[in-house]
Amino acid sequence: METYAVPPALKNRYRLLEQIGQGGMAAVYRAHDETLQREVAIKFLAPHLLAGDDEASTRFLREARTIARLAHPHIVTLYDADREGAWHYLVLEYIAGQDLAAAAAARGGKLALDEALSFVRDTLSGLAYAHAAGVIHRDIKPQNLLLTAVGSIKIADFGLALAQNDLRLTRAGALVGTPLYLAPEVVLEKPVDARTDLYAVGVVLYELLTGQPPFKASSASGVLSQILHAPIPAPRDSNPYIPAEIERIILTLLAKNPDERFPSAEAVLEALRGSDTPGAPSSDETLTQELLLYSAREDSAAAVEKERRRLAKRLESEIIEPLNLMLAQAGMYEQSLATNPQARMAASVMASLARQALQQARDLSANLHPTILESLGLEPALEALAGTLRARGIQTLFLLERQRERLPAAVELALFRAAQDALERAVTYARAAQITLRLEHSGEHFSFSISDNGVVAGGLELLENARQRIQQIGGRSETRWHEDGGLELLITLRLEAPVQLTPREIEVLQLLADGLSNKAIARKLSLSPRTVNFHLDNIYAKLGVNSRTEAAIYALRRGWSKRPR
């Protein structure tokens, strides 16, 4: 294929500055409009697409003229379309922000409900205007939804992408659109209308709220087959915090029969407005529910720990101390019974039994209130815990990497309790004879695993207790079954470096943890909603979290919330 060089300037007016996008069929540059003194985006169509095809060239210009008539706050403005040598090009409004795909990826692939709905409303507003003008986009996807500096959406690439990598061609008999976002009627090469764009909007909303598209496969043909034949996975299966009404809207948008979808973008907007009624939980109500659930779990864990310590104290005063006293008395009796071998033997047996009971009581007390954990740290506490197993004839292998610095107290306690649960399951229920504990620390990442050679799959509810504890400290846990029937509990954590937040960011985070909405935070701090969004974006990036709930829980863990608990 012949290669062509992009001209450095166009019509003595547009001076190219830098390339900002590249596809198989097009290249996009940031350029300076010397006449109007503004930045623009220049999109060049690869010459080989239109070379020698006068009909295609005419169609390109006709579509450009059609799009140029669209003037809407949520549609990228097309300023000009022309040709320079072999290159056909478009002069477009330049948007300095990210596209929605990049914005979602920066936050872990999933957005908060209020953000996702705000972006989708902007998209629907722009589509409603375009559809009224008789223009169907045909390629709605996160990459074509640009996020402006004020946090709104601009729809780009109206019918002009022509990207071969996206399976998008304008020739008859070819698919039009990106596989993940194609409506069934497009796959079947049937006529398309506004409802085809609405299907793609449904895919986008599904992806923004769950972190994944409804259909995915290793090949385009696999995706197309699922679009035509596979049932739509319920969004709430992936994200239970999606309100039921929003799920209903998504599933309606994704109906395989266009007649079962919403008839227009305006109808979807109306349905979204209806989902904001008092009967449906708002994103802020959802956040409050999640924080209440977190607080309940946190308070329950604290209550359980308090009860453990109370029992340990009672064990010390009511059993361990009396046993110590009894052993001291038994020692005196053994000495005084030197002339009576049988009585001395009986006293010795009783003393031996008392020592065994005393050791068991001490082990139990240490498990209930691990003072060694508080004084020496996790590794010695785990070794002491495993020492009780060795006394019962269970082989224990330690592969513990000594830590230069102690982990946070809450993390050490959660890991110790998780080890207790996993070891109890292995010994009491799984009948394990061998247990391996492995502790590793690499950079910010920390892993702890407990594996056994158990022969019975019982006591799994104990591992669920461990999973909840680890989740509360921001970690992950998974269980892996071995081929021989044993089980491994793997715990992974990301150890957080100290986070440097500005005083204003801390104020925003405190109010977020108190359950306030973005608008309420703006009123409280006398800020604009745009500024609050700016601070939240910075907070998410610094904390390494993806949602309002995660950020609020981060604040709660550090006691930053001002709300009475």
Answer whether residue 487 is part of any domain.
no
Q: Tell which wins on pLDDT, 265 or 400.
A: 265
Here the tokens at position 203 are: 């895919």
* The pLDDT value given to residue 255: 95
| 114 in active site | no
User: Can you list the pairs that 539-546 forms with residues at least 24 positions away whose Cβ atoms lie under 8 Å?
Assistant: 539/501, 539/505, 539/508, 539/509, 540/107, 541/106, 542/499, 542/500, 542/501, 542/505, 543/499, 544/494, 544/496, 545/108, 546/107, 546/108, 546/109, 546/110, 546/111
Indicate the pTM of the whole model. Answer: 0.51
Answer whether residue 451 is part of any domain.
no
- Percent of the chain at pLDDT > 90 equals 21
Domain count, the chain: 4
- State yes or no: pLDDT of 172 exceeds 50: no
Pairing of strands 434-442, 395-400: parallel
pLDDT tens-digit series, residues 208-222: 999 999 998 888 888
Domain hosting 22: range is 9-93
pLDDT tens-digit series, residues 258-312: 999 999 999 999 998 876 544 444 555 556 555 655 555 555 555 556 666 677 6
> If you average pLDDT over residues 439-453, what whole number do you get?
83
564 pLDDT tier (thresholds 50, 70, 90): very low
* The pLDDT value given to residue 326: 78
Answer whether residue 428 is part of any domain.
no
Question: 166 and 66: one domain?
Answer: no
Question: 132 and 246: one domain?
Answer: yes
Question: 165 and 216: one domain?
Answer: yes
Task: Choose one of 232, 253, 281: the last residue of a domain.
Answer: 281
Question: Catalytic pick from 99, 139, 157, 514?
Answer: 139
pLDDT tens-digit series, residues 355-392: 777 777 766 766 676 777 877 888 888 888 777 787 77
Task: Choose one of 221, 249, 281: the last residue of a domain.
Answer: 281
Question: 111 and 204: one domain?
Answer: yes
